[in-house]
Structure 1
Amino acid sequence: MIFRFLFLFVFLFIVELYAFQVFRTLLKTKWILLFYIAGSVLALIYIIYSISKYDPSVGQTQKSLFVMGFMLLVYVPKMILALTMFGEDIFRFGSGTINYFIDNDVKTSFLPSRRKFVSQIGLGLASIPFLSLIYGITVGKYNFKVIKQNIFFPDLPDAFDGFTITHISDIHSGSFDNPEKINYAVDLINQQVSDILLFTGDIVNAKAEEMHPWLETFNRLEKPKYGKFSILGNHDYGAYLEWKSNKAKEENFMAIKDLHRQIDFKLLLNENVKIEKDGQEIAIIGVENWGKHFDKIGDLNKASAGISDNDFKILMSHDPSHWEEVVKNHPKNVQLTLSGHTHGMQFGIEIPGWFKWSLAQYVYKQWAGLYENVGRYIYVNRGFGFHAYPGRVGIMPEITVIRLNKGENKI
């Protein structure tokens, strides 16, 4: 633990040292520089102190969310400045080396002086994440988007042609701080008037009590004709906290599972239900969490008991790595999987139909939107809530409406 703090302190100190070079190059007024130094020192002390006081038995709180947001707001722009200055130092060192060997009688300093325009470029580049992070914290985290997706299946039962699913994921109720915005999002879900409502896990950050202030709000989710079904996500197991006892952890887990009942969702724990329409059926399968970087509790074989390979199946599995590692080549032939988990890292760039990028793509092959493998699909929801960073930049909170269509595969 001490080594971690030491490493963090050294890293931030180097970033601060390089970032200071920008302001020293651009600002010549001494008292302004002193003000910048004092502010930077106070910010660093506050961040280090707050991190040192983090209680792993409590987990994420509104204060820890604020600290994370503040740290990113301060240090992401400064890291851009540091990289800019470091790049200039490489150039300066190369230039100084060349000048030394060409003319070692030159009386000037080995390193050329810093160039003002490089610092100006660095400051301009740093302003982009700075302003983006402010937007993400103040607006982006509640900028709910309804994304509509048509998917075609040649083996879809005729009765379900045009069947609609509203899909939400990753509520993370412990992060909410604006009842008006959450009520708006619930209204937005109700406005979709889909045939079924599916929720793919992470109702809380860690503790059941986080959802208690929001039970009334989520009880306003109207029950569609074919029901409301849900599964658990990795955060629902209390795995990221230090518990006083196994009994306390188990009691919390039981309480989290009961939250689904309290908001009128049928929680599927490695089990399935059949949905009947006009004499035909599709199967809704719900597995517990299975993650490449988490305990593999989900059991597709157990969950799909009583379902034939030829039945049309919709699988709810929180972590999309389950699809990549198991589901897409499973003999049960799951036609559609619905996941969440990634949040798209809550930071990225999306131009619909043209470009999509996030750090999430370097961790998960399927991280946002629709993916296909030999006629089997997965849709990864970008998440309803937020976690760790109290905001969203470029990757907005999502309510998905999927329409099932009878026909040839299209993507």
Structure 2
Amino acid sequence: MIRIVLFTLLYLILGLYVVQGFKTITKNPWIVYLYIGLSVLVLLNFLYQFVIVEGSGGTLTRVKTYAFSFFVILLVFKLVTVIFLFSEDIFRFLIAIYNKFFGEAKVFNMPDRRKFISTLALGIAAIPFGALLYGMYKGKYNFKVLKYDLEYDDLPDSFNGYQITQISDVHSGSFDNREKIEYAINLINEQKSDVLLFTGDMVNNKAEEMYPWKDLFSTLEAKDGKFSVLGNHDYGDYIQWPSDEAKKENLKDLKKIQKEMGFHLLLNDSEYITKGEDKIALVGVENWGKGGFKKAGDLHKAASKINNDDFKILLSHDPSHWEQKVIKDPYHYHLTLSGHTHGMQFGIEIPGWIKWSPVKWRYTYWAGIYKEMGQFINVNRGFGFLGYPGRVGIWPEITVITLKKKKLT
């Protein structure tokens, strides 16, 4: 509650400041009234959802998510504007000090706000404002198929050209457009991959979130099957349950749903995919994450039925597991597939030029292909979204990886 009060005060104070900017650039009072009305409406909706509406065991509902997002978007708009206006006010104040002591009239007189500065401030603030709104309207379903070829000396001959589709972080509880999800499912099937691998976070909190989408995800196809692991959100750790038994039943239901959709859930376990006399090992661990995230993953148990010289593909939801455990393990894991970061759903990516997101300050490996100690990892940017119901610059991803036998030179 204290945080809500502080955010509200900040929102109101910054809002009053921004009003001065609008008054500087226009004499039309209706533009000012429109801004004030919008700000008040967004604030009241935010307070209503987070103060008056009854909670749902800690669940961040879709309505609350949008209320919070609109509040934050306007808050960002205000902050960016005020940075410029406040900087100008410091300059105006210094001019007034100078006039008081060194001016001819010896009067403390602040010059008027400059229209150019207010216009610049509001114009620049409109960029993230518009981008975040676009991210909510279209960006969250702007699915991209990203393709990679990975070469290995020791890839079994029969698997040369073997194609993998990876998806991750579905977060079905956030979906609000069935047509867009149908499009994405069709896009996955169009890849006609040999195997489909899902790397965790099927839901936000509850298994029931998957019920409206179960029929669609059941239509996913791959020649050699569909395999999955659990992500941190799948365990239901982030909401209040009426009992421990209810929480356990939720996880049991989610496992059942995955089975009914045709996914083989690897819980610290492994499976071989064979072609003739050749084989590759799929290894799946439960969630293991650094910091406060669940550490249920047991790599040694998961690999107990395979051999060190097998070609190995590891499914592990959190890329920090690869960084802290996998690449140092005595077993050589040729390819690890992860997700979890979502690329923070916000950033800038221009292939070959720049790849940046604030999430890089938290995760060393946060999006795309990385290689360390002769081992690869792909960190999928996520299929769905969580928290902010949108994506800006970091689009929802369907990864297609083709394994290739390295040619002798």
Superposition TM-score, scaled by structure 2 size: 0.94
Percent of pairs identical after alignment?
52
Per-residue CA deviations over 1:18-77 (Å, capped at 9, x if unaligned) read 322211222223454344334322322221221223625161322123213322332222
Q: Give, in angstroms, the shift of residue 314 of structure 1.
A: 0.7
Amino acid at match of 2:326: V
The answer for unaligned runs of 5 or more in structure 1 is: none
Q: For 2:363 and 2:197, how far apart are their aligned partners in 1?
A: 22
| Aligned-partner SS, 2:327 | helix
Residue of structure 2 in register with 1:25 after alignment: 24
Residue of structure 2 in register with 1:61 after alignment: 61
Q: RMSD across aligned C-alpha pairs, in angstroms?
A: 2.0
For the 8 Å contact 1:54–1:64, the answer to whether it is kept is no
Out of 252, 255, 259, the position equivalent to 1:257 is 255
For the 8 Å contact 1:144–1:396, the answer to whether it is kept is yes
Per-residue CA deviations over 1:355-381 (Å, capped at 9, x if unaligned) read 111111111111111111121111011
Per-residue CA deviations over 1:174-204 (Å, capped at 9, x if unaligned) read 1111111111111111110111100001111
For the 8 Å contact 2:69–2:389, the answer to whether it is kept is yes
Paired residues in the alignment total 406
Q: Structure 1 residues 49, 160: closer, same or farther in 2, change over 3 A?
A: same
For the 8 Å contact 2:99–2:107, the answer to whether it is kept is no
Residue of structure 2 in register with 1:321 after alignment: 320
For the 8 Å contact 2:100–2:107, the answer to whether it is kept is no
Q: For 1:238 and 1:373, how far apart are their aligned partners in 2?
A: 33
Structure 2 residue 174 is the aligned partner of structure 1 residue 175: yes
Amino acid at match of 2:251: F
| Aligned-partner SS, 2:129 | helix
| Aligned-partner SS, 1:50 | helix
Residue of structure 1 in register with 2:236 after alignment: 238
Structure 2 residue 74 is the aligned partner of structure 1 residue 74: yes
Structure 2 residue 382 is the aligned partner of structure 1 residue 374: no
Structure 2 residue 215 is the aligned partner of structure 1 residue 212: no
For the 8 Å contact 1:68–1:390, the answer to whether it is kept is no
Deviates more, 1:21-30 or 1:95-104: 95-104
Which runs of structure 2 are paired with 1:138-177 in the superposition (5 Å)? 138-177=137-176
Residue of structure 1 in register with 2:220 after alignment: 221
Q: Structure 1 residues 187, 7: closer, same or farther in 2, change over 3 A?
A: same
Amino acid at match of 1:66: Y
Deviates more, 1:294-303 or 1:66-75: 66-75
| Aligned-partner SS, 1:329 | coil
Amino acid at match of 2:182: N
Q: Structure 1 residues 408, 99: closer, same or farther in 2, change over 3 A?
A: farther
For the 8 Å contact 1:203–1:236, the answer to whether it is kept is yes
Q: For 2:56 and 2:152, how far apart are their aligned partners in 1?
A: 46
Q: Give, in angstroms, the shift of residue 7 of structure 1.
A: 1.9
Residue of structure 2 in register with 1:283 after alignment: 281
For the 8 Å contact 2:288–2:296, the answer to whether it is kept is yes
Residue of structure 2 in register with 1:266 after alignment: 264
Q: For 1:251 and 1:291, how far apart are their aligned partners in 2?
A: 23
Q: For 1:31 and 1:198, how far apart are their aligned partners in 2?
A: 54
The answer for unaligned runs of 5 or more in structure 2 is: none
